[in-house]
Amino acid sequence: MAVAITITDTTKNPIVIPTGTTTTPFSALTVVDTTVPDLETVTVSLSGYAYPLPADDIGKLSDPTGGGTFDATTHTFSETALSTGSPTAATTILNRLVYTPPPVTGGNQAYAYATVDVNGVTTNNVQIETAGPPKISLTIAHEPVASGSTILPFGAVQIADAYIPADTLTATITVTDGGVASDADGLLTGVGLGKTGTGTYTVSAPYSYTLQGFLNKLVFTPATVAPGATRTTAFELQVNDAVTKLSADDRTTSVDTIGPTPMPTPPLIAGIVDEQFVTTGGNAISPFRNVTISDTNSNPTDSAKITVSGGGTLAGPTWRLIRPEGFSPLLPKRPRH
């Protein structure tokens, strides 16, 4: 009598699993065999690809009871058992088979397609996608921005993730100053961006390229920085995949807000003494012995001009006469006070 076998497959494709996990991809298959007892042979052949892994690394199948064999060269699993009733031996074997995927790196995925054969009756409906975590690249540290201007802190960032139907990617951004979440350094704005707490924001999208577009256009408006000062603001970026529950975290991005150039201030002269006395007859006096000069400008070069009236001459080792009544000393640079 001919063997009458039917395979019912209610698999919802693709079966998506995160890298580093396993699945029982044939749990939705039922094999009916109208001829019992019957010796049933289950053969499952895998095909597919994984990027950037070698083409021959598409995972493996195993029976947790230790039965059957898997040929890594042909990517084929085979196991035979005697079926005596319902559920059939083929159903039991298929339902417990475990698929172990290859490791998948960030932003990539591996695909496996299974053809199931039971005594010559086949189905090829099962598709398995193994997803790696999201990947964040091209973040930039210490981008300069002038106080009073704006900047796109994620203007060059790229986001990659495995394509998964009905998926959602969520980026969480934490603005920090000195490692602490803060709103004091400025405000982040953009399409789809929501503020969730002190220094924290989120934006979501169904695809990695859509999320990347949102991040590229986020605008940071830094708080005012004092003249001559610089403030560094750091941005922690985390991207989460709703289906795989995998995430990527990047702490490279930072912005240096540079304050305006300080306005120069005039030097300060102190210690001038009026109406000092000295006797004639070739005697001399140091009229500026109590004078102090301070200059708060950065790396100043100071010079002094002195005009003498009423007679007499002014002398010193670094002085030069610029006109009969005027002398100009060549003073060294003074440190900033």
Q: What is the pTM of this model?
A: 0.76
Q: How far apart are CA 229 and CA 258, in angstroms?
A: 6
Query: Where does the pLDDT of residue 246 fall: very low under 50, low under 70, confident under 90, or very high at 90 and above?
Result: very high
Same fold across 5-131 and 135-258: yes
Q: Does residue 310 register a pLDDT over 70?
A: no
Which DSSP symbol is given to 187?
Answer: E
Show me where the domains of the chain are located: 5-131, 135-258, 264-337
Q: Which residues pair with 329 in a beta bridge?
A: 319
Q: Which of these, 110, 123, 121, 165, lies nearest to 10 by C-alpha position?
A: 123
Higher pLDDT, 39 or 308: 39
Q: How far apart are CA 102 and CA 59, in angstroms?
A: 5
Average pLDDT (179-190) is 96
Q: How far apart are CA 67 and CA 93, in angstroms?
A: 9
What confidence score (pLDDT) does residue 299 get? 67
Q: Does residue 251 register a pLDDT over 70?
A: yes
Q: Which residues pair with 239 in a beta bridge?
A: 171, 248
Q: Does residue 266 register a pLDDT over 90?
A: no
What confidence score (pLDDT) does residue 325 get? 43
Sequential DSSP letters for 56-122: T---EEE-TTS-SEEETTTTEEEEEEEE-SSS-HHHHHHHH-EEEPPP--TT-EEEEEEEEEETTEE
Query: Where does the pLDDT of residue 1 fall: very low under 50, low under 70, confident under 90, or very high at 90 and above?
Result: very low
Name the most confidently modeled range: 51-60, 129-138, 285-294, 320-329.
129-138
Average pLDDT (251-257) is 97
Q: Which of these, 38, 150, 141, lies nearest to 90 by C-alpha position?
A: 38
Residue 178 CB-half CA count within 13 A: 3
Single-letter residue type at 272: I
Classify domain 135-258 at the CATH class level.
mainly beta
What confidence score (pLDDT) does residue 204 get? 98
Q: How far apart are CA 202 and CA 170, in angstroms?
A: 7
Alpha-carbon distances of 37 from 65, 85, 88, rounded to whole Å: 22, 7, 10
228: left (phi over 0), alpha (psi -120 to 50) or beta: left
**Mean of all residue pLDDT scores within the chain:** 87
What confidence score (pLDDT) does residue 269 get? 83
Query: Where does the pLDDT of residue 51 fall: very low under 50, low under 70, confident under 90, or very high at 90 and above?
Result: low
pLDDT above 70 covers a percentage of the chain that reads 84
Residue whose structure tokens are 């002014």: 314
Q: How far apart are CA 174 and CA 196, in angstroms?
A: 10
Does residue 259 contact residue 227 with C-beta atoms inside 8 Å?
A: yes
**H or E stretch covering 202:** strand 200-205
Q: Which of these, 9, 47, 3, 5, lies nearest to 123 by C-alpha position?
A: 9
Contacts (Cβ under 8 Å, ≥6 apart) of 81: 39, 40, 42, 67, 89, 90, 92, 93
- The architecture (CATH level 2) of 5-131 comes to Sandwich (2.60)
